[in-house]
Chains A and B, each alone.
Chain A
């Protein structure tokens, strides 16, 4: 959550007027009160500055002329010697930098080959921070926490890092992943800014519902763009490994029992491209063999999901289809269909209910736990 002090500092820097919430915060926060006065104080101090002494322009032109003349008289040999010295220094620094970088690269390669080497941290901390910030905000606003975007984050990194690839394949995938990440970071920065503005609107004394709705719509649209970028990036990476775009089969192939997660046939050459599709619909709950007509997954199709908000008094652990998923209050995005929700807390009677999740709908479940 962005603190009000940060928002106030941001608005002072950009010159944007303070909202009602920020103005109220300035009244009670001594730090922000001092901060809010600083622009006016700097302006007042600037106004006290004196004008130049008389004859300023003439002195200025004469002084500049003298400096130009001095530079013209400067010995070319001296200038050449200074330039040569600088060149040597720069070349030495570059050589040293290359040597240091080479050592670090060799060390990383050695660690990469060593199966016991510790796992390296993710390369792009800022992108991870943005994803984390977005997730926090979503959780706070109770929509799509744990949704497909969070689950999909890092899929390209997995593709890049966890699978054995040739150097040129790795380079191709890395280039695609970098392009996608660049776009995603840009979009998430926009989402971050919109979240700040939305929070400011929500904290206002009289929030404008229309403005709030606009913010939410815009954030939702940007989230959709993020998801599309990731999915299309995943496809591009897969196609880059395959060499050619994956053809769509004209007739459904015979179902392969080993290929339940991603039944769509891939081009024959690259076994490495037969990856787990993170966006495919989950397998059915029953053990029935998949129907070839329905088992084909179109990656361009929007996943049919709905949202569920779960609240309980007092708070409790939540189990989705028998698996613990968190504690209340909890917002989840689930595949459409029937799901079993159970809430439990020590000393209280657990409650189990079934929810029917409709696509693009929000279901709210409230539980009142009774003591044993």
Chain B
């Protein structure tokens, strides 16, 4: 990632097309899979996850001049992915509120691998958590990141990230007990 980005000082939107394509390709291969993994776990839908990573990649290229430390480019990209996913979750929740459960967009189906009862229940309970709590739990335990790393991806202080994790755990337990 360092070699990929250190020359780039001009926003990708204003760069020549071939140079921008090269940059996009490198960024996609260097950090795309990790970003996809995060998006896939937060959104639980492969198509929406790919959309989110594409959007994040476009945003990253458009605002590459804001990246101060090229060595942190992957973490920076993952933070953009997380932000895009949180925004998607907010919009999804808003659509459900506006259109109601029956008439709105279909709720996201559980992944085929998660069709077993226990995992499906856990996933459904995770979906009912507030976005940041869900993201904090998935990143902390699903991706085994430390609290400071989770805080970096969520754009909050470590103490706040820890609070999200603790409250998320507590609420997840309550939701699992409520569900049949």
Interface range on chain B: under 10, 10 to 19, 20 to 34, or 35 or more? Answer: 35 or more
Secondary structure at the A interface, as helix, strand, loop or mixed, is helix
Chain B residues with CB under 8 Å of A63's CB are 50-51, 54, 57-58
Within 8 A of A (CB), among B132-158: 137-138, 140-144, 146-147
B142 x A71 contact (CB < 8 A) = no
> In the complex, A48 Cα to B140 Cα: how many Å?
17
Within 8 A of B (CB), among A273-323: none
Chain A residues with CB under 8 Å of B12's CB are 68
B141 x A56 contact (CB < 8 A) = no
Within 8 A of B (CB), among A1-34: 9-10, 12-15, 31, 34
B138 x A46 contact (CB < 8 A) = yes
B33 at the A/B interface (Cβ < 8 Å)? yes
Chain B residues with CB under 8 Å of A31's CB are 173
Write the nearest CB–CB distance from B23 to chain A, whole angstroms: 9
> In the complex, A57 Cα to B169 Cα: how many Å?
34
Given A10-B166, A38-B172, A72-B13, A64 and B58 contact (CB-CB distance below 8 Å)? yes
B53 at the A/B interface (Cβ < 8 Å)? yes
> In the complex, A56 Cα to B119 Cα: how many Å?
26
Write the nearest CB–CB distance from B173 to chain A, whole angstroms: 5
B104 at the A/B interface (Cβ < 8 Å)? no
Chain B residues with CB under 8 Å of A48's CB are 111, 113-114, 119
> In the complex, A38 Cα to B112 Cα: how many Å?
21
A39 at the A/B interface (Cβ < 8 Å)? yes
Q: Which of A35, A46, A48, A61 has the most CB of B within 10 A?
A: A61
Chain A residues with CB under 8 Å of B137's CB are 42
B29 at the A/B interface (Cβ < 8 Å)? yes
Within 8 A of B (CB), among A44-84: 44-46, 48-53, 56-57, 59-61, 63-65, 67-68, 71-72
Nearest chain B residue, comparing its CB with the CB of A39:
B141
A41 at the A/B interface (Cβ < 8 Å)? yes
Chain A residues with CB under 8 Å of B20's CB are 65, 68
Chain A residues with CB under 8 Å of B13's CB are 68, 71-72
A13 x B147 contact (CB < 8 A) = yes
A57 x B25 contact (CB < 8 A) = yes
B166 x A67 contact (CB < 8 A) = no
Render B112-140 as a binary contact track against A, CB cut-off 8 A, 1 for contact.
11100011001100100000000001101
